[in-house]
Structure 1
Amino acid sequence: MLTQEELKQKVARAALDYVLPLLAPDVVIGIGTGSTANLFIDGLAAHKHLFKGAVSSSERSSARLTALGIHVFDLNQIDRVPVYIDGADEIDAGLNMIKGGGGALTREKIVASVADRFVCIVDESKLVPCLGKFPLPIEVIPMAIAEVSRRVARFGGTAALRQGFTTDNGCQILDVSGLRIESPAELEAQINNIAGVVTCGLFAIAGADVALLSTQQGVQTLYSPRS
């Protein structure tokens, strides 16, 4: 029986195999945040001579990339990236996701928006029949915390401020528990329209294009029904 860490290592390797044919001297790729993304970054370092550099969804990932000798570009310097590699906290069969457990959800959404393909890398524990068991992160302007908490309660959720945490954008995170998200794109739009919300951690209006799912039987490739 493989441990979760071993499953993460296998899917990070599968993501590297997926990306290698896309690398070229003028290519910049998008890279996310989290423990599985870190394993991908570590593997990518051995191939840094094959591509131009990366754009990153967090200061943490940028620091890791830089330390390994991979040049990190400001996204304002880049028009498109061929691929964005990132993990998820939950993902369903439609490749809708909850992301933001590490607090980088806004920058993750921004980098994903300029990618030709979003490849989500997860272990089998993250695949769920319905999103919502993992608390939904919402990045919020600090003065709106109380009002956003009240508004989210109308959807049946209970919001808790993530204590001692500030995002790379200088905002705060509300983690919303108690949701059963049967229409993720609709809920994403509704929450994002609340004044004071920067963005929520639902990636459903634009979900993943491909998921590499690490299981005890090997790494499976899932494709979005939107593709």
Structure 2
Amino acid sequence: MGAQPAGPRGIEREKQIAAEAAAELVEDGMIVGLGTGSTVAFLLPALARRSLNIVCAATSPRTEHAARELGLRIEDVASIDRFDITIDGADQVAPDGWLVKGGGGAHTREKIVAGAAERFVVIVDSTKPVQALHSPIPLELLSFGVRATMRRVAPASLRDVPLSPDGGVIADYHG
């Protein structure tokens, strides 16, 4: 489906171009949801350069910190009931529009912020489009009862990574 990868520098350039195009969709006065990940890292400076009067909420502490460092106004997601636009990356994008997200571990937060948005914009490079979604599919699970949950979602494996920002365990579904 997508173009052949252009090498590491080419992919980074694709992420930058996609992020800059997405930043152009943001208008003065908007409430903006900010996703998490390597492509969103290119979005933040592009938004900051525009010097718009916007309010942002981030899906991860890493994104929040980076946005604040660039001078973007960040509010707590708890104080926002809807977003004009949310911009985030994806791990896989199928032709029918289905996405795999959450490879970076901010699963629940990303889905809440995307679901509260009037417009959800996904920015990806040419390595992300796929003919069909495939495993591994990232999962965020409650720590409570994780063994029983893992048995129910099998075949799956726990990742050896830090907990999600909300204390969730990160796993991968392999079915």
Indicate the residue corresponding to 1:143 in structure 2: 144
Indicate the residue corresponding to 2:14 in structure 1: 7
Q: What residue identity is the alignment partner of 2:47?
A: L
Q: How does 1:91-170 map to 2 (within 5 A)?
A: 91-133=93-135, 135-153=136-154, 158-170=155-167
Gaps of 5+ in 2: 1-5
Q: How does 1:1-227 map to 2 (within 5 A)?
A: 1=6, 3-19=10-26, 23-24=27-28, 26-48=29-51, 50-133=52-135, 135-153=136-154, 158-177=155-174, 179=175
Determine the C-alpha separation between the residues in 2 that align with 1:164 and 1:52: 33
Determine the C-alpha separation between the residues in 2 that align with 1:69 and 1:124: 30
Query: SS at 1:122's partner residue?
Result: coil
Determine the C-alpha separation between the residues in 1 that align with 2:63 and 2:19: 15
Contact 1:159–1:175 (8 Å) recurs in 2: yes
1:17 is displaced (CA, Å) by 2.2
- Alpha-carbon deviations, 1:8-32, whole Å to 9, x = none? 111111112222xxx22x3221110
Identity of aligned residues (%): 39
Query: SS at 1:117's partner residue?
Result: strand
Determine the C-alpha separation between the residues in 2 that align with 1:98 and 1:144: 24
Contact 2:30–2:85 (8 Å) recurs in 1: no
**Stretches (4+) displaced over 6 A:** none
Contact 1:16–1:43 (8 Å) recurs in 2: yes
- Alpha-carbon deviations, 1:106-147, whole Å to 9, x = none? 0000111110010000112111111124x1111111132211
Q: What residue identity is the alignment partner of 2:23?
A: L
Query: SS at 2:118's partner residue?
Result: coil
Indicate the residue corresponding to 2:3 in structure 1: none
Q: What residue identity is the alignment partner of 2:96?
A: G
Query: SS at 1:73's partner residue?
Result: coil
Q: What residue identity is the alignment partner of 1:141?
A: L
Determine the C-alpha separation between the residues in 1 that align with 2:82 and 2:171: 31
- Alpha-carbon deviations, 1:133-176, whole Å to 9, x = none? 4x1111111132211221112xxxx3111113111101211112
1:42 is displaced (CA, Å) by 1.5
Q: What residue identity is the alignment partner of 2:161?
A: G
Query: SS at 1:35's partner residue?
Result: coil
TM-score using structure 1 length: 0.70
Contact 2:114–2:120 (8 Å) recurs in 1: yes
TM-score using structure 2 length: 0.90
Determine the C-alpha separation between the residues in 2 that align with 1:100 and 1:44: 22
